[in-house]
């Protein structure tokens, strides 16, 4: 299933959806020069920011759903 997802993102999706599903940055234009550096640095920063904020959001979502406090009304403790 993972190989199917990788093949789908590499061959079909590509640069659609602003590289959202390209988690390996395979389709990003990553040309680097010793004089200029990365040519399209804003796209790289957007790609990093998408996954950074998605990761932070999933962590916060997990913490919000984790019923761990015994005195809480939504607690799963008896």
Unique residue bearing structure tokens 């079909």:
12
- The per-residue pLDDT for 12 is 80
Q: Is the pTM of this model over 0.85?
A: no
Average confidence score pLDDT of the chain: 76
Mean pLDDT of all residues in 47-52:
85
- The per-residue pLDDT for 59 is 94
CA distance 15 to 46: 13
pLDDT digits (tens, 9 = 90+) for 14-37: 677 766 777 777 766 666 666 767
Q: Taking 90 as the threshold, does the pLDDT of residue 53 lie above it?
A: yes
Question: Is residue 68 exposed (0-12), middle (13-18) or buried (19+ Cβ within 10 Å)?
Answer: exposed
């Amino acid at each position: 299933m993972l190989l199917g997802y990788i093949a789908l993102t590499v061959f079909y999706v590509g640069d659609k959806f602003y590289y959202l599903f390209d988690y390996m940055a395979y389709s990003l234009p990553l040309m680097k020069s010793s004089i200029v550096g990365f040519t399209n640095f804003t796209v790289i920063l957007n790609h990093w920011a998408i996954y950074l904020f998605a990761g932070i959001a999933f962590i916060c979502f997990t913490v919000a759903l984790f019923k761990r406090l015994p005195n809480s009304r939504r607690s799963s403790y008896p």
